[in-house]
Amino acid sequence: MVKAYIHDNKSDCDYRAPHNSGTELSLEELAELGVIYKYCANEEAVDKIAEERQYKNRDVVDIHKGSFRNETEFDEKLAMFYKEHLHEDEEIRYCLEGTGYFDIRDASTPENWVRCLVEPGDLLILPPGIYHRFTLTISNHIKALRLFKDEPKWQAINRSTQADTLPVRRDYITQINRC
C-alpha cells in the first residue's frame, strides 16, 4: 500500500532518506492531483490495467548498485531520476521488488513535494504534465515494471519556464483546478 506524505524539503541529508514531514495524504488527496494508485497482487492484475488503458509494451528496470559498472554511474543515474521533469504521456510504474519514492509536486503549494513510497504490489499512474522525480530509498533497490503505450522510449522534459508553457502542462493545471 502506497504511503504518501509531504516531503520535509530539507536538503541537508541523503535524498534517499524518508524526509517525512509528518503530514500524510489520503488516496483521495492523491487523486485530486491526478495521481491514481492501485494495488495489484500480481502481474495479471497489471495486465488488466494495461489492456484497459491500451498499453502495449513494457520493460523491467532493476536499479541497484550491481546493475551499473561503477558507483559513479549509479550516482549519475540516480541524479538523473531525481531531476524534476514531466512527460507528455502518463507514467505508469509497478513495483515488483524493493522500494522507491516518487515525488510529485503539490498543486496547491507548489514548493511542496508529495512523497509516495512504493513497495511490491503498488502501481502508480502519474498524469501527463505533472512535475515529478524519482529516487530509491536507503535500501538502494527497486525492480519495477514500466508500461508504455507504444515504443519503450521515454522522453523526460526537465522543469523550465518553457516546459511550464507546454500544452500538456497547461492542460494538467486546468484539470487540477477543476477538481
In the chain the beta strands, taken as DSSP E runs, fall at 3-7, 20-25, 36-39, 57-63, 85-86, 91-98, 100-105, 113-118, 122-126, 132-136, 142-148, 157-158
142 binds, among ligand KMT, Ni ion, none (CB under 5 to 8 A by kind): ligand KMT
Q: Phi and psi of 110, rounded to 5°? A: -65, -15
Shortest distance, position 157 Cβ to ligand KMT, whole Å? 12
Residues 75-104 that bind Ni ion (CB under 5 A): 91
Among 19, 93, 105, 169, binds ligand KMT (CB under 6 A): 93
Tallying the residues shown for the chain, one arrives at 179
Number of residues that bind Ni ion (CB under 5 A): 1
Instruction: Considering the complex, state which of residue 64 and residue 146 has its C-beta at the smaller distance from ligand KMT.
Output: 146
Q: Are 145 and 96 in contact (CB under 8 A)?
A: yes
C-alpha cell, 160? 523550465
144 binds, among ligand KMT, Ni ion, none (CB under 5 to 8 A by kind): ligand KMT
Residue 122 exposure: Cα atoms within 13 Å on the Cβ side: 24
Q: Is 146 in the site for ligand KMT (CB under 6 A)?
A: yes
Only segment of 18-26, 30-38, 107-115, 139-147 that touches ligand KMT (CB under 6 A)? 139-147
Q: Which amino acid, 76? A: E
Among 144, 148, 169, 172, binds ligand KMT (CB under 6 A): 144
Q: Phi and psi of 10, rounded to 5°? A: -90, 130
Shortest distance, position 120 Cβ to ligand KMT, whole Å? 12
Q: Phi and psi of 129, rounded to 5°? A: 90, -5
Number of residues that bind ligand KMT (CB under 6 A): 9
List residues forming the annotated binding site for Ni(2+).
85, 87, 91, 132
List residues forming the annotated binding site.
85, 87, 91, 132
List residues forming the annotated binding site for Fe(2+).
85, 87, 91, 132
